Structure 1
């Protein structure tokens, strides 16, 4: 199953600010990666997949 980063974040009940705090990046960085997921670094793919409880492949399948 494929997910967009934004849709996955919202479905899990997280705000951009919450995810940014958890990932130790700015909210603007999260928004940028949601718009351009192909630029998402590997460490964030793994962190977000764990946070959202989805496969890392599902987060990058649309890139």
Structure 2
């Protein structure tokens, strides 16, 4: 015997409410996956964005710029 996929742990749903829940879960499980996001920056450009620390202007910051 297999374990049930859904189990009601609280409350007493009507048959109509249970049918609605099963319909939503089934529709969500069979829905196609969303298309991949093509607006994302390439791995190469996003790497350099994160690899370098931002510049912080201020007095004597030129000294700190030579020591990462």
TM-score by length of 2: 0.23
- Name the structure, 1 or 2, with higher relative contact order (CA <8 Å, separation 6+): 1
Bigger share in helix = 1
Larger Rg: 2
